[in-house]
Structure 1
Amino acid sequence: MQSEKLKMKLEHWIEHNNSHAATFKKQAVEAGEMGFRDIETELLLAAEAMERAGSHLQKAREKLGCS
């Protein structure tokens, strides 16, 4: 049962991170369109970091025996 709980948490975190990464990318485009290039860059870096975190969460999920 504990592994099922962990699986559910990992799935939630993966989805949550993906959502944040997508939001950061969208906001980066908007910031760039407004001329805030430095903010655009930071938001894109934040999105990349979320994607890297998501990759680690996915690996953890796979090690739990989920595909």
Structure 2
Amino acid sequence: MGIYILHHLQLQLHQLLPEKLQTQEIFNRGGINITEDINKDKLEHLLEHWIEHNKNHSQSFNEWGSRIRQAGFGKVADELLEAEQKMDECTQILERAKEKMDNE
């Protein structure tokens, strides 16, 4: 959950910066300065970050889906559980991409 909160705080801060600073790409994305060249180590780190980030979202959707269902919002809970499934599918794709790093 900490990564999730940090990510959203970065996005909120980014929106508060003057446009000139926003275009300088000063933020890190998954620990990688996006103005740097991408190499295998950095790409692996980024994929690991995305995988962990997605797993955190998936867990949150599951937990909130259960709470929301108990509160009587079954249709909303169904949508959250579908979002959880889709997030898990995205995570599987990212994990496959990470596995392919060895072949590059």
Task: Percent identity, please.
Answer: 35
Query: What stretches of structure 1 move > 4 A for 4+ residues in a row?
Result: none
Task: Note the residue ranges of structure 1 that are not aligned, 5 or more in a row.
Answer: none
TM-score of the superposed pair, with normalisation by structure 2: 0.61
Distance 1:62 1:4 in 2: 13
Distance 1:48 1:19 in 2: 13
Give 1 or 2 for the bigger CA radius of gyration. 2
Matched, 1:2 2:66: no
Task: Note the residue ranges of structure 2 that are not aligned, 5 or more in a row.
Answer: 1-37
Name the structure with the higher helix share.
1
Matched, 1:54 2:69: no
Q: Which one-letter code corresponds to 1:16 in the other structure?
A: H
- Aligned residue pairs, count: 65
Distance 2:61 2:77 in 1: 9
Task: Give the drift of 1:54.
Answer: 0.1
If asked which structure has higher relative contact order (CA below 8 Å, sep 6+), I would say 1
